Amino acid sequence: MASTIREARYRVEGMDCASCASKIDTAVRRLSGVEDVSVSVSAGTMSVKFADENDLATSIVSRVGKLGYRLHPIQAGQASERKAAHVCSGHDHDHNHDHDHGDHSHDHDHDHDHGHRHDEHAHHHEGNASQKGETAAAAMGLHGHDHGPTSGPWWKSGKGKLTIASGLALIAAYAVGKTIPATEPWIFTLAMLVGLLPIARRAFVAATMGTPFSIEMLMTIAAIGAVFIGATEEAAMVVLLFLVGELLEGVAAGKARASIQSLTALVPKSAFVERDGRLDEVPAETLSVGAVILVRPGDRIPADGVILSGESAVDEAPVTGESTPVRKEVDDTVVAGTVNGSGALRVRVTAAAADNTIARIVRMVEEAQESKAPTERFIDRFSRYYTPGVVVVAALVAVLPPLLSGGFWDEWIYKGLAILLIGCPCALVISTPAAIAASLSAGARRGLLMKGGAVLENVGKVTAAAFDKTGTLTEGKPKVTDIVGFGRSEAEVLRLAAALEQGSSHPLARAILERSTADGVAIPNIATVNAVGGKGLEGAVEGIALFFGSPKAAAERTPLTADEKARVAALNDEGKTVSVLVAGGVIAGAIAMRDEPRPDAAAGVKALTDAGLRVVMLTGDNRRTAEAIGRQFGMEVRAELLPEDKQRIVRELKAEGFNVAKIGDGINDAPALAAADIGIAMGGGTDVALETADAAVLHGRVGDVAAMIRLSRSTMRNIVQNITIALGLKAVFLVTTIIGVTGLWPAILADTGATVLVTMNALRLLRPVRAV
């Protein structure tokens, strides 16, 4: 019987460079029963798919432990600073409003997709698996990676302690060697061994697990070779510089990793929960779904939830980047980590700590960082041949000149050893993942989520953007745009219409009631109200007989004048739904409603066209409404489309040579999203949005699509700069080494310097993403 395939995720302690990740990947992949391995230096995580066999989980932990790294299983609901969040179920709605302007009944087609996804990582680790792995790692205590860069000050880490010990040994060697010159050869050799022994041990273990050409192996060969040709002082210095370089890499990697992890610090440590009529302060991570909490003015909200009572302005900037506080009232949702304004709120918790929005964002970004971009995969393949090739070149440089032209052996072996150090691929291998990890983190902090490096690369290649209308370019709900008084004042028309609509949950009724509330209109009580099938509503208010419905139905009761008909037609031509009020047998006025554009939509569309993109609207709504909205944006409009029509148009755009991004809410647009090069979901729950598309704009701003494209293009420029730095420095020092200008010290500085420069250049992407 075939074994069940399980997937486990681990936090890898001490992994902070591309060389580390490569060794771990190779070692675990060579275990029998392992199907797939995905390692992210930036997130400090590893995902493994393997056969559910006895002790295989233990073997994975133990094998990585022998390399000198500690594995910590990431389990669902684990209460730690870094939470692993399951992606939960959610609902996303696409409201395709088909407004028949001659009928107040207004058909609203609601298509619901209940996307339930449970990423169940079967972390059924035996109790001793982690323990054995820790023991194995502890046995390798000399390994410089014993503690990750974020677990405390650098000098308290194993790597820091080893670097300090090596530095002190070198200082002592200088003191003794200069005092007693005869001791210099062996005293510098001893100082070198302080740092080299753990490096050599790691090189040997990595070689036995499938990575013979690791940086540790190159370092070991170079140091031992230097001793044999009498360059003991340089050998000791090179080992120290190597350790300092690793330390700097660790600090830089920790800074990139902390960027996204810092989101978890937004959630407060405690919460006030209602129990049996009293308030208890409890740890926020213990809150269960359904619990009722009190959020005081000025406090951070400790959990995702729905407001039961109270209203307040909530500052969502820490999570979504929205600069203006958002007004929240009963039945509105709130997100953990946002800041309550001036009003107290009672909130019912809708997600446990491990499943809240911030935890899901962190989890998604970490998983995205484990997904390699095409450029990264190419660099990985290139480095597999690059390093052995450099070893061959170093050997030829060391051997051929003395054999063929009578060169001095010591001189050319020295040059060969320097080339070995120059050949380390660390800077080259980290050039792409460092930039992509920083970019994914920066995007997530602004509410721009992408499914991985491949998506991030492809977003920047987009040349055409196809937008859904309802809920994407528009708010997704109708608003009162015009109140026209014919026989009565505008305020009176609104007051009487609201009286008929009160108590109705119809979207158009809600729009009228919201406008009356906003205008401070006192709505009178109504004795009776009746729905007139397909035509509108009728009733009596303050002794006045009222009818509120379509212009056609109103005209059946009281004819409209030519001016009134012209005004209604003009409003219809603007894509607005018009309802006419008849009071006491006289045309009193009209109210026009429309699903209005998002406030930033015009600027967002302009930013895309300015960036050279072709922008088109694809909508199922009627042509008159769609073109009225499209005119405001100056964009191409395709209306009255079925889902398969949207898919066909996307394919036509691709056939014309465009790289197409489809932007919608991810449900009715599913066929078009699948057909597009990139599918971007607007707003909605983060889990469903990313399930149905390649990327998501959490805050629903149209301008964020342009920001996502700009971020992608900046990232690709950064990657090109990184590769240029990595290969350029090595090329320069290769030439200067062969002609005898530079030696071992500059060689290791070239490697370390390139790695640090590449990482620091990538960290520039962590700067805030500029809004449109």
The pLDDT confidence band at residue 309, using thresholds 50, 70 and 90, is: very high
Query: What is the model's pLDDT at position 103?
Result: 39
Question: Would you say how long the chain is, in residues?
Answer: 772
Q: Which of these, 431, 462, 369, 476, lies nearest to 708 by C-alpha position? A: 462
The reply to whether 595 belongs to the active site is no
Q: What are phi and psi of 243, to 5 degrees?
A: -65, -40
The pLDDT confidence band at residue 248, using thresholds 50, 70 and 90, is: confident
Query: What is the model's pLDDT at position 84?
Result: 32
Mean pLDDT, to the nearest integer, of 478-491?
92
The residues, any chain, with a CB within 8 Å of residue 26's CB and separated by 6 or more, are 209, 210, 211
**Is the separation of the CB atoms in 75 and 123 below 8 Å?**
yes
Mean pLDDT, to the nearest integer, of 478-494?
92
The pLDDT confidence band at residue 4, using thresholds 50, 70 and 90, is: confident
Query: What is the model's pLDDT at position 431?
Result: 83
Query: What is the model's pLDDT at position 310?
Result: 92
pLDDT 10s digits, 174-223: 999 888 988 888 999 999 999 999 989 988 998 888 888 887 888 888 88
Query: What is the model's pLDDT at position 670?
Result: 66
Query: What is the model's pLDDT at position 131?
Result: 39
Maximum distance among all Cα pairs of the chain, rounded to whole angstroms: 118
Q: What are phi and psi of 209, to 5 degrees?
A: -105, 15
List alpha helices for 519-599, DSSP H: 551-557, 562-573
Higher-pLDDT residue of 450, 264: 450
Question: Looking at 499-542, which runs of residues are DSSP E strands?
Answer: 529-532, 536-541
The pLDDT confidence band at residue 151, using thresholds 50, 70 and 90, is: low
The residues, any chain, with a CB within 8 Å of residue 711's CB and separated by 6 or more, are 439, 442, 443, 448, 456, 459, 765, 769
Helix (H/G/I), strand (E/B), else coil: 684: coil
Query: What is the model's pLDDT at position 118?
Result: 36
Q: Please determine, for residue 136, whether its predicted confidence score (pLDDT) is greater than 80.
A: no
Query: What is the model's pLDDT at position 217?
Result: 85
Distance separating alpha carbons of residues 636 and 100, to the nearest angstrom: 23
Distance separating alpha carbons of residues 498 and 626, to the nearest angstrom: 27
Mean pLDDT, to the nearest integer, of 65-94?
53
pLDDT 10s digits, 693-750: 788 888 788 999 999 999 999 999 999 999 999 889 888 988 888 888 888 878 887 7
Mean pLDDT, to the nearest integer, of 558-577?
90
Distance separating alpha carbons of residues 687 and 360, to the nearest angstrom: 8
**Cα 731 to the chain's mean position, in Å?**
35
Q: Please determine, for residue 262, whether its predicted confidence score (pLDDT) is greater than 80.
A: no
**Percentage with pLDDT > 70 across the chain:** 82
Global confidence as pTM: 0.68
CB atoms within 10 A of CB 752: 23
Mean residue pLDDT of the chain comes to: 80
pLDDT 10s digits, 594-644: 888 888 899 999 999 999 999 999 987 778 888 888 988 989 999 888 778
Higher-pLDDT residue of 58, 384: 58
Query: What is the model's pLDDT at position 684?
Result: 55
For 733, how many CA atoms within 13 A lie in the half-sphere containing its CB?
29
Q: Please determine, for residue 42, whether its predicted confidence score (pLDDT) is greater than 70.
A: no
Distance separating alpha carbons of residues 341 and 153, to the nearest angstrom: 36
Handedness of CA 20, 76, 252, 172 (dihedral sign): negative
Which residue in the list 113, 380, 468, 704 is annotated as catalytic?
Answer: 468
**Is the separation of the CB atoms in 310 and 348 below 8 Å?**
no
Most confident of the following: 99-108, 286-295, 518-527: 286-295
Mean pLDDT, to the nearest integer, of 271-286?
91
Q: Which two tokens stand for residue 275?
A: 């129990």
Please tell me the least confidently modeled range out of 91-105, 676-690, 707-721: 91-105
pLDDT 10s digits, 288-297: 999 999 999 9
pLDDT 10s digits, 579-599: 999 999 999 999 999 888 888
Q: Which two tokens stand for residue 645?
A: 């029509």
DSSP percent split of the chain into helix, strand, coil, nearest 5: 50, 20, 30
Residue 340 vs residues 59, 279, 452, 701: alpha-carbon distances, Å: 48, 18, 33, 22
Distance separating alpha carbons of residues 19 and 677, to the nearest angstrom: 33
The pLDDT confidence band at residue 155, using thresholds 50, 70 and 90, is: confident
Query: What is the model's pLDDT at position 443?
Result: 87
